[in-house]
Structures are given as structure tokens and as C-alpha cells.
Amino acid sequence: MTGQHDLVVIGAGIHGAGAAQAVAAAGYSVLVLEQSGVASATSCRSSKLIHGGLRYLESGQFNLVRESLRERDILLRIAPQLVRLVPFHIPIYRHSVHRPWQIRAGLSLYAVLGNLRRHAWFASLPRAQWDELDGLTTRNLQAVFRYQDAQTDDAALTQAVIRSAQSLGAELVVPGEFLAAQRIASGYAVRYRTPLGETESHCTALVNAAGPWINAVLARITPRVPPTAIELVQGAHIVLDGALHRGVYYTEAGDGRAVFVMPWRGMTLVGTTETRFSGDPAQVRPQAAEVEYLLQTFHRYFPQRGMQLRDQFAGLRVLPLAESAVFHRPRETLCCPDAPEQSRLVSIYGGKLTGYRATAQKALALLRAVLPARPARADTAILRLKD
């Protein structure tokens, strides 16, 4: 039997979930195909921060920071049980790459891009409070800045968004592996596989939200759409025994990269790395050298704390292919339509967990021209996400 939907979304990570929610909220019928499990890939292996991305100021990505801070505020309102403000600390040592005045300037700009809202305050901690910072070493410490950003449970957030999409009428098939799509007069004929066999569905438009599999999915769509050249860069995290009580720490590894030390489920999460990856995305695992790098960085700043390893995981960033260093590569989401007008296929490359809702709105806007007019069911900027 052949089904019929306005839209088929491939992938149920945060971007697929967000696209499904946006499209269902706009009044359309949507089918989501997920080959493994909701939030089973990148969207359960992030640093779990809902943030503007202070460090993106250095590479001049002001629009990304502004949009992310706006989305952070929306998420704090619509999902207060899933997204919480946490104090972030930036310790500045004699050896640190940045000087206190630079951090002060960066945090001031961050506050301005966040529209100087209530959460935008920052402060330099008095020396008397440095000993209260979870065992952070004070040797050669020159200043500690504190500001606020947010943390979430990435998998739980993705599950909440997909449930919201389902409550608006979206259909979810898990496991449902997208096999191929062929252009037909009314849109696409989509073939997918479930444990019960192969099925076909017709749709007006397609969203490719397959994360690191994005170009593999694109290659299964006829007529062929040229892929955007990308690079997969893995990021590893380790989980250590022992709780952090004061919040998140923004540390600097020996090579100058930022590494976060974060409270996580009563333990300590440390990440991340940047290691070029090739191979099957399903096989991504932290490498021994990455675990060592994270342990060393943690020990450098918290020399008195234990380093009992409880868990480790790695996820893949989808970054545009470029010559520049990975750390400074743009982190903006690319919503790539198959045509400048009358687009029927949008592929979502890269991006941030934080900006999923804005990304979904952009993808929907690109497809509007081919979708029929329908009365909207909800506004995702005010719709509460439930646990």
C-alpha cells in the first residue's frame, strides 16, 4: 500500500525532530523515517549545552551567536524542565591564550548579542571565592569570570521535540530505513524498509536530516542533487566519577583549544576533541589519544580530583570542507535546497542542537512554495515541550 504525506523527513536526530515539529505545527502531514532510534546518533553525543557559543565570537560568527542566544531564551521558556541555566566559569591563568580584558570584552559583546537580558550578566569572581570552585587549581590563576549559559539532556530534548511533533499529527517509523526517492509529478516516491518489509510513500517534499549520513542519503535520491562537500570531525567526551557543584568550567587544553568540564548526572563530563573521521558513522568511538588528551586537560585544572573513568562517547560534526583549522570553521547550519525556487528537497548540514527550532523554520520556509496552504496548528516558539 502506498501512503501519502505532505513531507517525509529522513532522520530523527534533533534536526529531523525539529523539522517534523515545525511542519506538523504549520498544518502539514509528515512522516519521519529513522533507521536506528530517536536521538541515537549525534544528538545523544553532544556537549549538551544550549548556548550562544562564546568562542564563536572570535571567528566573527555574530549572527550564529545572536540566533543561538535567542533560541536559548525560547527553550528556557518552553522546556524549563529540560533546559536550565548554569553558571559558567572562565579561569584565566598566566599561561592562558586570552587576557582578562579580552574575556571581559567578549562577555560584554555576548551580553549585547543576548539583548542584555536578565541572563546576560557576568562578573569577575573575587579571589576569596576561588577556593570554592570544585578544586580548580589556583596556581598562577589571575582571574575567574562567571557568566550564565544553559545545559540540557540532548537525547531527552530530542525525544520531547519528536513527541511534540507526534502530538501535532506527525507519524514516526522506527526502525524505518530510507532506501530511495524518485521524483514524480506530485513530488517524490519514497521507498523505506521496516522489519515488516519494504514500503512506499508519496510526498510533496523531502527533508534530509540524516546528520553524518547526509550525503549517503542524498546519493539515493533521483534525479541527483549535487552534495555539499563536507568533512566529518569527531568529538569525544569522557565521564568521570565525582560531582561538580559550582557549574561548568571553560578550560584551555595544552594546544589552546577550549575544553568544557561540566556537571552531568552527578558526575563530571569533559569534552571535546576534534579528530578528522572517515569511515562508517555508526562506528565512531573515542580514540585512546583523545581520552588521554581529555584526562590530561582535566588533571591540569583539577589536579586534586580523582580521574575514575565511568563512560566515554564520540559524535560526528558535519563541517563544510575547507582549508582552515577545524576549531575556527563556521558552525552555522546549512539548509541546502535542491533548487533556488520551488524547492522540494532541503538537506540540513551541520548546525547546533541549540538552534534546531530556527533551523526547522528555515527548512520549512524553503519548502513553502511547493506546499499547499494549510491552517497552522501551533507556534513552536511558545508550544511547551513535555517530558
- Minimum CB separation from ligand FAD for residue 98, in Å? 20
- Cα dihedral 58, 64, 70, 71, rounded to 10, equals -120
Q: Give the pairing of strands 197-208 and 248-252.
A: unpaired
Residue nearest to ligand FAD (CB): 13
Q: Copy the grid coordinates of residue 223.
A: 534525479
> How many residues form the binding site for ligand FAD (CB under 6 A)?
37
178 binds ligand FAD (CB under 6 A): yes
Min separation Cβ 86 and ligand FAD, Å: 12
Nearer to ligand FAD, 274 or 338 (CB): 274
Can you tell me which of 5, 9, 16, 204 binds ligand FAD, judged by CB under 6 A?
Answer: 16
Is residue 264 involved in binding ligand FAD (CB under 6 A)? no
Given the rule CB under 6 A, which of 261-269, 295-303, 350-358, 367-375 is the region that contacts ligand FAD?
350-358
187's enclosing H/E stretch is strand 187-194
Within 314-343, which residues bind ligand FAD (CB under 6 A)?
Answer: 315-317
Cα–Cα distance, 363 to 345 (Å, whole number): 9
Distances (CA, A) of 204 to 166, 188, 210, 325: 19, 6, 19, 40
Q: CA 333, CA 268: separation in Å to the nearest integer?
A: 29
Comparing CA positions, the residue from 265, 259, 267, 263 lying closest to residue 295 is 259
Q: How far is the CB of 3 from ligand FAD (least distance, A)?
A: 16
Please say which residue, 6 or 332, places its beta carbon nearer to ligand FAD. Answer: 332
SS3 349: strand
Kindly report whether the peptide bond that precedes residue 251 is cis, defined as omega within 30 degrees of 0: no
Does residue 10 bind ligand FAD (CB under 6 A)? yes
Are β-strands 49-50 and 197-208 bridged in parallel, bridged antiparallel, or unpaired? unpaired
* Nearest residue (CB) to ligand FAD, 55 versus 246: 55
Determine, following the binding rule CB under 6 A, whether residue 54 of this chain makes contact with ligand FAD: no
Listed in sequence order, the residues at least 6 apart from 26 whose beta carbon sits closer than 8 Å to its beta carbon are 364, 374, 376, 377
Binds ligand FAD by CB under 6 A, chosen from 26, 57, 113, 210: 210
Among 91, 114, 187, 211, binds ligand FAD (CB under 6 A): 211
Kindly report whether the peptide bond that precedes residue 372 is cis, defined as omega within 30 degrees of 0.
no
- Kindly state the smallest distance separating residue 174's Cβ from ligand FAD, in Å: 9
Among 74, 177, 200, 330, binds ligand FAD (CB under 6 A): 177
Residues 267-286 that bind ligand FAD (CB under 6 A): 272
Which residues of this chain interact with ligand FAD, rule CB under 6 A?
Answer: 10-16, 33-36, 40-43, 46-49, 177-178, 209-213, 217, 235, 272, 315-317, 348, 351-354
